Chains A and B, each alone.
Chain A
Amino acid sequence: MQRQKIIVYVNDKPRETFLGMRVRNVLGARALQRVRARQAIVRDGEGNVVDVDGALYDGEHLYIAPIDPTTFADEMQRSA
């Protein structure tokens, strides 16, 4: 079974990876830690937030942006 390779763009830098990999696999350890701590967030090319365990797809653009954990908590309360 031949595995399909895909290219995703992290902060506009191309990263070759395999189909079946997750967002976490292309973030790097430090960025992943910051996302888990709600100090950073990952958005797709259209500005939608994506979870670190989301499946990657060919041509996907991902952007890592800093956030404030308290502000994030307040936003979640407002949108509840």
Chain B
Amino acid sequence: MYRHLLALAVLILSLLVACVAPTPTIAPAGPLKVTLLHTNDMHGYLEGQMLTGSDGKSFEFGGLPHALGTIARLKREAAGPVLLFDTGDLWVGTLASNRDQGKTIIAAMNAIGYDAMTLGNHDFDQGVAVVQARASEARFPILIANIVEASSGKVPGWAKAYIVKEIAGIRFGIIGVAYARTPGISSKVKELQAFKFIDELETLRQILPEVKRQADVIIVLSHAGFDADQRIAEALPDINVIVGGHTHTELRTPKVIGNTIIVQAGARAQHIGRLELTIDRASKRIVDYTRNNLLVAVVSNKAETPQDIAAMFDKLIAEGRTATRRVIGETAIDLLRAYTPDGRTSGEHPAGNLVVDAMLWANQAGDTPADVAIHNNAGIRADIPRGPITYGQLYEMLPFDNVLVAMDLKGEHIKAVLEVAASCPRVNTLVAGMSFTYNCALPAGNRISNILIRGKPMELQKVYRVQTIDYLANGGDGQVAFKEGTNLIYGDPVVDVVAAYIMQNSPVRPRVEGRIVEAR
């Protein structure tokens, strides 16, 4: 009996203890793993490059539809939450994308679930109104802490300086910085005067304490370039991660400076950056991160592009191809080149005059219009017969993706350019707004005479405004005198400038009119 009573008492006591004892807590979860996926400098590359492997199979490498499809796959495969960023230079760079002005790309990024982006210098190439329109369509914030309105000193209303995003109790402060020198290398110089572009490092130094008070992990989206990102990391150790762009650097392993991890994913939608952060939930600090194989190559056979996104891009690519075949105007004469006896393009000819006339007409030299335009003969690669002209034909004529560059150059340096061009028998230059005589019987360096600019004799010490292309401005074809140029302004791609000229002035009829004359 006693035994039964004792057993009952023990049972009751056990139940009582069980009732009053604290409920065992759920074992603390392990550290939080957050995957950062990132893209940069995709430049509107809708289509990738065809590659063939050793198995003989071909596939497309890169291209926005496949990049977003790869992101879809990586999001599905991620061990935990995902943050998805882009760091700018998004849509300007290809004909189809330029025409669309980024609308389709932003719509696709909305669908795939981007969390934020910052802007690159080329995002302003089509004007601020276009950027503003894309920002209004984006269902993710545009972060540009270092661009403020000149009038108010504030970040424009269509953007933000930073956001704070909480994931599983960890607060991520995400700041964006655009390329501070954008006005100095943009064709939209005047338009950008409405804004102040502030140094990236100084901006971050100022804003960091404010963000730090609200966040556990600091991520900077930067279009400052790999060199600047390293300087930022050295100066501001409170930044945990810098997601970079602008220099198109493929960082397969992270660059780590102090406690700051720098990543960047190349360009042209060829790679997706993937950085996994392991964060201790108690201290809210990063305790580990991916140390290698950060870049996931974008290949068509492994992308999981959602059908709706693929359809959006298919339409855009088809429109781009149609645009390439579209007639933009016509020429009343055959746009032919001239040649030396050994078959090299040389001297003045209708095809070349069309190009330099368009360069001068485009008036992209800044406040002071250009006096002359100079292009090399070697850069004109095809003729166009009399009749309709398509954009595709124009691109065959000008296939090098050169952009306009305007500069101040003294007369003596212009003469030096012409002397180098007169390599005899070839004269490797084309000019507008000027004329000159060359004499191949004279020694190199003394072959040019009778240089007229706007009908007046050129003065050696006078400074002229010269419109040329980036290839020559950088000293291409041995034209080192261009490096004496000052006050450079970058403009649009030459092929687009010539296309616009043809559209405005069709039918064009450039004639050989004695700009480049051989001495008799």
Contact = CB atoms under 8 A, between A and B. Distances in A.
B247 interface: yes
A50 interface: yes
Contacts of B366: 1
Interface in B262-300: 266-268, 293, 295-299
B54 interface: yes
Given A72-B51, A77-B53, A20 B266 contact: no
A49 interface: yes
Interface in B487-502: 487-490
A22 B469 CA distance: 13
B470 A25 contact: yes
Contact of B486 (A3, A59, A75, A77): A3
B185 interface: yes
Contact of A77 (B185, B246, B297): B297
B52 A70 contact: yes
A20 B61 contact: no
Instruction: Decide if the interface of chain B is mainly helix, strand, loop or mixed.
Output: mixed
Interface in B230-250: 246-250
A55 interface: yes
Instruction: Decide if the interface of chain A is mainly helix, strand, loop or mixed.
Output: mixed
Contacts of A53: 41, 43, 93, 248, 267-268
Interface residues of B, number: 54
Contact of A80 (B252, B296, B476): B296
A66 interface: no
Given A21-B474, A51-B267, A74 B54 contact: yes
Interface residues of A, number: 43
A3 B225 contact: no
B198 interface: no
10 contacts: A1-B489, A3-B488, A18-B485, A19-B181, A46-B255, A53-B43, A54-B246, A72-B51, A73-B51, A73-B59
Interface of B: 41, 43, 49, 51-54, 59, 61, 70, 93, 181, 184-185, 189, 225-228, 246-252, 255, 266-268, 293, 295-299, 301-302, 366, 401, 407, 470-471, 473-476, 483, 485-490
Given A50-B249, A53-B248, 13 more contacts: A1-B189, A1-B487, A16-B475, A19-B184, A20-B490, A46-B255, A51-B250, A53-B93, A73-B51, A73-B52, A76-B61, A79-B293, A80-B296
Interface of A: 1-5, 15-26, 29, 38, 44, 46, 48-51, 53-55, 57-60, 69-77, 79-80
